[in-house]
A and B are shown apart, each in its own frame.
Chain A
Amino acid sequence: MTIHQTSLGRRRFLVSSAAVAGGFSLAFSIPFDADAQSPVKELNAWVVIHPDDKVVIRIARSEMGQGTLTGLCQLAAEELECDWTKVTWEYPTPNENVKRNRVWKNFSTGGSRGIRESNHYVREGGAMAREMLLAAAAAEWKVPAGELKVDKGVITHSSGKKTTYGAVAAAAAQLEPPKEVKLKDPKDWKIAGKPVKRLDTLDKVTGKQLYGIDFTMPGMLVAAVRACPVIGGKLKSFDAARVEKMPGVKKVVAIDGNAVVVVADTYWNARTALAALPTDWDIGKLGEVQTETINAMLKEGLDASEAFVGNKVGDAKTAIDGAAKKVTATYSFPYQHHVTMEPMNATARYTPEKCEVWCGTQNGEAALAAASEASGLPTDKCDVHKMLLGGGFGRRGRSDYVRQAVLVAKEMPGMPAKLIWSREEDMTHCQYHPTTMAKLTGGLDAQGNLVGLHIRISGQSILASLLPQNLQNGMDPVVFQGLMASGVESAYGYTVPNLLIDHAMRNPHITAGFWRGVNTNQNAVYMESFMDELADAAGQDPLAFRLKLLKPKWAAVLKAAADKAGYGKPLPAGHFHGLAQVMGYGSYVAGVAEVSVSPDGALKIHKITAATNCGHVVNPAQIERQVAGSFAYGLSAALYGEITVKDGAVEQTNFDSYNLMRIDEMPKVETVLVPTGDFWGGVGEPTIAVAAPSVLNAIARATGKRVRNLPLMHHELQKAS
């Protein structure tokens, strides 16, 4: 088959609505509105208005289910004063961003930053476009712009004149943008702040939504990959002759010295041949690493003399030594996998003049850099066409799969190739949630006041694994998420007169990465479980004990959750409450879990009540969904999430060995929003951190047993006798 040499599939893709029987569905491009040849001119980088009043809002961040796309469109549309029912969207490409001096700024979509960090300039884009549209109408009517009114994209003047955004957009696009615009007071919002429906739902219930794995183009081949089962190992040899004659096989290649790839006409043929391909690996000493050896490495760090200090107040050791009562406990948290429903994949086409990639990515600019590096072409000769993501959770912030796809495409200049990871490949070659342990020691005075606290964390650093250039004199500050001394991102909420939180970095060979919620997840398990242990030792109620120590914003959100849950009031027989709170991703969150444990040890999580203060609420319905989803994600991890290592390799390969929560285990979730309106916080991640500790604390109330090592599936939960 010959290759289409048109600029096929520039930017956003549509697919013919009826898939063609007996053939591939054809992806085709619609012209990007900034194209020089397009009659429709943009008002600015963020807003394009068509003559039929259709509003196109450009979104630089990636949509992966978290709703950022809809939220940013709401914010731009709010300032624009357009008709929400006419709003649609498109992704600019990273290459376009390079060419236009990063006019869309950051493409990276992680850390729950999509809305909180870009709301200001996206709103300004909408407001500037509005001013230009009004100025164009005013010029046409020869009246002062200040006399015009606009509602839902319809401009009116007291003289009776009336026009629409679509009618004046072309003239407006010729005007100089205003130097400054005043943004609306959120109390005047009509579109933002409201529970509007997502913009990307319909195609997801009809099967029309294209993800990276669905992308196709004429002449495209499909590749299956197997990397060394031990991360860090190398490919020694492979016997291509054994599979080259198998049905559909086009090519068998090694890439990066650590993986083999079979390229075929279909994925099924590529995968079948790959399964039959003999390979030999060089894993060296890594083959001696077991989960037990990793755990021993971490245990040693719990009492090591050297550690990075992340948070220090007074003299914790002296205060604890002199305390009336001393409490100590050691916790551990395993490696976990993101498990996006869509396995990693990317399509690439390489020629000596150009390298293009089509994929889901949380970081279009990083994917562009990876394409450039793997292809050897400068970034202005590369581009990445972003597809919607079948889940991200931090995993698609990395571009390892993009690199592989480009390396394969480079082996076949001109031929587009889609590289798909099997679930097994995906499960065993991740950047896993890091494993850590923590030893917590607290001192109480005779009245049960917390006078000193030492938290020693031992374990893996994500920065050391992925971004060593970001370490600060060897220290990984991200390790202290939720426990940091100050700051607007992830600060510790308790006021403890003598406090020491430090980290003994211990880095096994398993690659660690950012996993939805990242280090707040285990830090909240350690801190919030131990707060209950301290409260018990002090003979105090865990809520009252916390409220005495918490700073106002942290206390308010915990109290909101507790009030809504009816904490302290009678529960159904056998039901127990557990609490947890954390600040993360710029937001304050708390959860109250209601659980029961049957006499034979069966856990039932009946209900979660969750409170969130994310400052500003852009879409309450979507926040509710992110909060409920965070409990599904966090509880799935608490119940089942565990990656183990045998002979250097990850043992879990698919959902039969890495279980995940289904609907039958999902509790009811009640969400309370308590926004204070004085900051912008993230929503997609913070709540995950309170899922596990709130349930662990409730289990301890129900059974008298304190679970200190996750996942819960390894624990017998019968009542302590």
Chain B
Amino acid sequence: MAVINVNGKALNHNADPRTPLLWVLREQLGLTGTKYGCGIAQCGACTVLIDGAPTRSCQAPVNSIGAKKVVTIEGLAADGKLNKIQAAWVAVDVPQCGYCQSGMVMAATALLAAKPNPTDADIDSAMTNICRCGTYVQVREAIHAAAKA
């Protein structure tokens, strides 16, 4: 048994230490909001925050996490209240199929934490997640809306 801190809780798992955090979250801890898209840290669907830094969990072995704090999409809403990124996502009606949106919301949460008033250029460089439905126009709009909220 090993322990990792996810969404403020110490959680046990028995995965092989080299297992990517993504699969520990999904298959050991039941946190399926973090998605598998490519497994090679390209698409961003698996983005989580590790000590606040947006990280592609498909390329982070679980034994590299140690005592660091992991936050997943399930950990953003406090007491059922959406964070301001999620609220903006709902207000702008961003998702289409929605599969990439957990990663998008996590990346945007990290961006706004670092830059409360991001420019379009900041958004371009921070938001490298792939969306195939093409929600990019609404993602940009929602990030600006969240910054103003």
Contacts and interface: CB of A to CB of B under 8 A. Distances in A.
A65 interface: yes
A660 B130 contact: yes
Give chain A's interface secondary structure class: loop
Interface in A360-412: 388-393
A511 interface: no
Contacts of B35: 211, 213, 341-342, 390
Interface string B7-45: 001011101100110010011111111111111101101
B86 A206 contact: yes
Contacts of A213: 32, 35-36
A205 B95 contact: yes
Given A64-B97, A423-B37, A664-B124, A19 B32 contact: yes
B128 to A, nearest CB: 6
A232 interface: no
B128 A655 contact: no
DSSP majority for the B interface? Answer: loop
Given A210-B32, A391-B132, A654 B95 contact: no
A266 to B, nearest CB: 4
Contacts of B9: 21
A341 B132 contact: yes
Nearest to A392: B97
B133 interface: yes
Contacts of A628: 134, 136-138
A209 B137 contact: no
A629 B96 contact: yes
A24 interface: yes
Please tell me the size bucket of the interface on B: 35 or more
B139 interface: yes
Contacts of A102: none
Interface stretch (A2-10, A43-51, A194-202, A284-292): A194-202
Given A342-B35, A391-B97, A655 B130 contact: yes
A420 B37 CA distance: 12
Contacts of A65: 95-98, 133
B137 to A, nearest CB: 5
Contact of A201 (B33, B36, B45, B93): B93
A343 interface: yes
Nearest to A631: B134
A420 B33 CA distance: 17
A442 B132 CA distance: 37
Q: Please tell me the size bucket of the interface on A.
A: 35 or more
B101 A205 contact: yes
B102 interface: yes
A662 interface: yes
Interface in A652-671: 654-656, 660-664, 666, 668-669
Given A22-B11, A211-B99, A625 B132 contact: no
Given A341-B43, A656-B42, A662-B129, A25 B138 contact: no
B105 interface: yes
A104 interface: no
A214 B32 contact: yes
A625 B97 CA distance: 12
Nearest to A63: B97
B101 A633 contact: no
A553 interface: no
A656 B40 contact: yes
B73 A22 contact: no
Contact of B135 (A18, A266, A342, A625): A625
Given A197-B90, A210-B32, A663-B140, 9 more contacts: A21-B29, A209-B98, A211-B35, A213-B35, A268-B23, A343-B36, A423-B38, A654-B39, A663-B131
Interface of B: 9, 11-13, 15-16, 19-20, 23, 26-40, 42-43, 45, 72-74, 76-77, 82, 86, 89-90, 93-102, 105, 123-125, 127-140
